[in-house]
Chains A and B, each alone.
Chain A
C-alpha cells in the first residue's frame, strides 16, 4: 500500500490521474455496496 497524505503525494506517486479516471468510470462510485454490519454483542 502506498500511503499518501495529500494531493501532492498522490500526484508524485503517479496515482492521482488513474484513481480519478477510475472514479470517472464509476468503478467505485457506490462505496455503500462494501459497507456491511455485524454485531459485537
Chain B
C-alpha cells in the first residue's frame, strides 16, 4: 500500500483530500518519504497554513501520500515506503516526487491531492499517471509547515483527475478562487532549442492545439540547457542547507537512502558564489519569459519529452528537463493529459502562464481538455 505513508480516517462529507507527506497535518508525522526523518519526527503540532482553506471547507483528509525521499527526485521510486503503483500501467514509473498524490487521484482514492513542485514534482507524476497537476506561482501558496527542498523554488499546488478538480483544489488552497471567465486568446507553442523530443508527443500537443480554436504562434526558446544548469545549481545549494541537519547527524545520515544521500553529498559542493552565478542567469531567464508573454498569453510545450519509463529501468531518465526551467522562472504551469495518436498512453501538455495567472491557465486548460478529449481507461 505504497500510495499513502499514513492513512487517515477523518469524518466529514467534503471533498476527499490527499496530502503529500511533507506538508504538516496536525497530529500526524511528517516523514517527507524518509525513514531518517520519520525516526526523529514527532506528530505535527499544527496544520501547515496551506491546509486552512481545506479545513474551513470541510474537506476530508484521507491520508499522507508517498513521495521521493525528501522530495529530491522525480522518478517516484521510494526504497523506504515502496513505490506507488501507476494506475495506467503497474510496470511504469508513477513519477515524482509527488508520486502518491498522483496515484491517489488517478486511482480514485481522493478527489484532490496536494503536491509540491520544485523542479517538476507535481507535473511529472501527473504526466506519468495521466492526471492533471498545477504548479503554482512561486510565493502564491504559503510554504510554512512544508518540509523544504529549495525554498526559492518550492511551491505547493493541487492534483486531480481533471481541470475541474484542480479548480476545486485551488479553491481549497485559496478560498474564493475561480477560473477566469474566458480562456486565453493566444497561445505560444514553445520549441526548446536543442531538446530531444518524441515525435508522438509533439504530434499529440499539436493535435490538441489544432482542435482548441485558440490562435497559436510558434516560438523558439534558446538557453534551455543553461537554465537547467542554473536551476539544478540553485536547487542543490538550497537542498544542502534544507537537509543539512540530517546529513550532519551520523544516525540520520545513515538512515537516508543511498540515492538521496549521494545527491545531498554532491549538492554540498555548491558554494554561495556558484549559486550567485545561477541567480544572475535566473534574472535574465525571467526577463526572457516576460518577452515571450508579449507574443502570446500562455505558452505550451510537453511536460515530459517521453512516455513514462518502465520501473525496471531504475528511474534514471531526465524526467524534469522540460519542467525545472519553469521553476527557475517562478511561473505557474498546468500538466494536462491529451491523447497521443497511436499510443495507449496519453501525452502531457504543459501550459505556462505569467506569474499569478492560475485563473487564466485553468480556464484555458478546460478548453484544451474538452477539445483534446482524453478519456482515462
Contact = CB atoms under 8 A, between A and B. Distances in A.
Nearest to B193: A34
A5 B233 contact: no
B242 to A, nearest CB: 14
Interface residues of B, number: 49
B216 interface: yes
B196 A1 contact: yes
Interface of A: 1, 3-11, 16, 19-20, 22-24, 28-40
Interface string B216-255: 1111111101111110110110000000000000000000
Contacts of B230: 23
Contacts of A31: 221-223, 226-227, 284-285, 288
Given A11-B266, A31-B284, 10 more contacts: A5-B317, A9-B316, A10-B232, A19-B225, A24-B277, A31-B221, A34-B223, A35-B291, A35-B292, A40-B217
A41 to B, nearest CB: 9
Most chain B CB neighbours (cut-off 10 Å) among A29, A31, A34: A31
Given A28-B223, A34-B221, A40-B189, A5 B274 contact: no
A20 B236 CA distance: 13
Contacts of B316: 5, 9
Contacts of B269: 11
Contacts of B291: 32, 35
Contacts of B229: 10, 16, 19-20, 23
A35 B222 contact: yes
B295 A3 contact: no
Contacts of A6: 73-74, 232, 263, 320
B108 interface: no
B321 A33 contact: no
A27 B219 CA distance: 22
Interface in B146-201: 188-189, 193-194, 196
B318 A3 contact: yes
B194 A19 contact: no
Nearest to B239: A7
A7 B263 contact: yes
A21 to B, nearest CB: 9
Contacts of A35: 219-222, 288, 291-292
Contact of A4 (B188, B216, B219, B228): B228
A19 to B, nearest CB: 4
Interface string B290-330: 01100100000000000000000000111111000000000
A11 B270 CA distance: 11
B40 interface: no
**Which 10 pairs show the lowest CB-CB distances between chains A and B?**
A34-B222, A31-B223, A7-B232, A5-B318, A7-B236, A19-B229, A32-B288, A3-B318, A24-B277, A28-B226
A22 B226 CA distance: 9
Contacts of A34: 193, 220-223
Contacts of A11: 266, 269
B81 interface: no
B278 interface: yes
A5 B220 contact: no
Contacts of A36: 219-220
Contact of B263 (A8, A29, A40): A8
A23 B217 contact: no
A32 B267 CA distance: 29
Contacts of B188: 37
B374 interface: no
Nearest to A18: B229
Nearest to B231: A7
A37 B217 contact: yes
Contact of B281 (A8, A23, A37, A39): A23
